[in-house]
Amino acid sequence: MRRAIVLLVFLSLIAPAFAQSGSAVVGSGSVVVSGARPGDPQESIYVRKVGHGPRTIVLVPGNNTSGAIFEGILQYFRSVEDLNNAYTVYAFDYRGSGFSSYNKEITGLKDFALDFEKVMDKLEGFPKTGVALVGYSMGFGVALEMYIANPGRYSSLISLAGIGTRGVRISIANASQAGSDALGQQWAVGDWITVTNDTKGIAGTAFQQSSWQGEARNLAGIQFVWDLLVFEDALKYDISSYKVGDVGPKAQPGYMGALLDGLSVQYMPESLYYCHKFNVSASDLTHKNGDGTVVTIPGDNRLGRLLAGKKVLLVKASTDFQNWRGDQVIYDNYTATTKYDLKKAGADVTAILIDPNQGFDHGFPVLHPLETVHLIDSFLKGNLKASTVSAAIGGTAKFYDSAETTWETNNFTGF
């Protein structure tokens, strides 16, 4: 990747309720669950809930974020009567984010998924079937892990700029990122972070992020990176001058909330590392580093045919490197590959790529929450098709139905 991957965060605006180990959570509160593995300590996972409708939606946030990233989306499920009556919507804080604990470091995205599965088992009245999973950025990888853990619970999957079936790559993007990490490992421009030793891989990930995370974390640094990579289309970012062309979106509550939450969540380089290592496809990914070593990220093929008969929606903004617009974190070929893999797993997969230069970028669920709700609602009602996408988002987009293959094959360019 050309830049360090940055996955969005959002300020938590809801005060935490008392922690509880019982079954019921109404509005917001914490649920205590057992650890992911025998002997692990308990974790307290914070939950937000809106609506009272018969259809259940679970929103899964991005890397190092709390469920409050979806506050703009939750606002519409609260305030629009038809939505409030149609859906019950949950958003959880990851272990280590928002108001959740971090008593044990994760060893993969599966740990996040198992935390959430245990929470759902404790929530009074939470359905055993028919749940719609919506994953944002890293959250789609976690959503896939949730589906693999309990496929009978879920009826459909939605990706909002999701990392996909083969994760995302952490690579050394430029000369300023090259050098030696805390364990003495040398990294050159173009190198992938290695995955054969998790301790070394996490150290390499921390080093790759060191210019704006860890001891260097501050508001100005986070703002620079997010303006550059996450909100750049909305802000009309000029890559030649590193300046924002339109400051208007900065007045939205979600913008500053995202920056401030970046200071409040626990820094977990391991979560980004496990996005890099994540690969549930049937294909291995390989890359030769500068020193001649080959990095292989094996595909574990855990999806198999688990998605047979399920419906999936993939949504992202098209990546336009030349004009520095669209999604600079999740590239179009990642989404094409994901569509291919999910179809092989038996799913009916629709993909929507929103055209660039319309203010949609990696942060579109934050700065365009109403449009995002329109897409989710239309898809779940079975009304989403090529002729209705523009009305839903208030802009133009390319629509790829499940039967279509040209975009998949033309953009199946690997990693």
> Domains in the chain, start-ordered, CATH in brackets?
19-169+298-410 (3.40.50.1820)
Distance, CA of 135 to CA of 59 (rounded, Å):
6
DSSP state letters, 46-75? EEEEEE--SEEEEEE--TT--GGGGHHHHH
When pLDDT is cut at 50, 70 and 90, the band that residue 36 belongs to is confident
More confident residue, 27 or 156: 156
When pLDDT is cut at 50, 70 and 90, the band that residue 3 belongs to is very low
Q: For the chain, give the number of residues.
A: 415
Region of poorest pLDDT, from 58-67, 84-93, 140-149? 58-67
Mean residue pLDDT of the chain comes to 91
- Mean pLDDT across the stretch 264-276? 93
Whether pLDDT at 107 is above 90: yes
- Mean pLDDT across the stretch 397-413? 91
More confident residue, 76 or 258: 76
Give the whole-number percent of the chain exceeding pLDDT 90: 84
- Mean pLDDT across the stretch 193-216? 95
DSSP state letters, 281-292? SSS-EEEE-TTS
Region of poorest pLDDT, from 112-116, 221-225, 341-345? 221-225
Spatial neighbors of 241 by CB under 8 A, at least 6 apart, are: none
Return the pLDDT at 27: 77
- Mean pLDDT across the stretch 66-93? 94
Torsion angle in degrees (nearest 10) through CA of 45, 51, 53, 58: -30
Nearest CA-CA partner of 168 in 146, 132, 131, 193:
193
- Are the C-beta atoms of 340 and 408 separated by less than 8 Å? yes
The residue written with tokens 């150290």 in the block is 203
Region of poorest pLDDT, from 150-159, 217-226, 390-399? 217-226
- Mean pLDDT across the stretch 285-292? 96
- Mean pLDDT across the stretch 372-381? 97
- Are the C-beta atoms of 276 and 195 separated by less than 8 Å? yes
When pLDDT is cut at 50, 70 and 90, the band that residue 415 belongs to is low
Q: What single-letter DSSP state applies at residue 31? A: E
When pLDDT is cut at 50, 70 and 90, the band that residue 25 belongs to is very low
More confident residue, 188 or 253: 188
Distance, CA of 210 to CA of 23 (rounded, Å):
41
Return the pLDDT at 259: 84
Return the pLDDT at 64: 77
DSSP state letters, 353-415? EEPSSSS-STTHHHH-HHHHHHHHHHHHHT---HHHHHHHHTS-EEEE-TT--HHHHHT----
Q: What is the pLDDT of residues 172-187, one digit of tens each?
A: 999 989 999 999 999 9
Q: What single-letter DSSP state applies at residue 272? A: H
- Mean pLDDT across the stretch 251-278? 90
Spatial neighbors of 317 by CB under 8 A, at least 6 apart, are: 161, 233, 326, 327, 353, 354, 355, 356, 358, 360, 361, 362, 364
Distance, CA of 244 to CA of 228 (rounded, Å):
9
Give the whole-number percent of the chain exceeding pLDDT 70: 93
- Are the C-beta atoms of 5 and 168 separated by less than 8 Å? yes
The CA distances from residue 105 to 101, 108, 161, 258, 291, in Å, are: 10, 9, 25, 23, 31
When pLDDT is cut at 50, 70 and 90, the band that residue 225 belongs to is very high
Whether pLDDT at 333 is above 70: yes
Whether pLDDT at 329 is above 70: yes
Nearest CA-CA partner of 116 in 51, 55, 25:
25
Pairing of strands 179-180, 186-187: antiparallel
Distance, CA of 322 to CA of 301 (rounded, Å):
35
- Mean pLDDT across the stretch 236-241? 96
CA dihedral sign of residues 78, 81, 82, 85: positive
Region of poorest pLDDT, from 196-205, 258-267, 299-308, 390-399? 258-267
Spatial neighbors of 225 by CB under 8 A, at least 6 apart, are: 4, 6, 212
- Mean pLDDT across the stretch 106-129? 96
Return the pLDDT at 126: 96
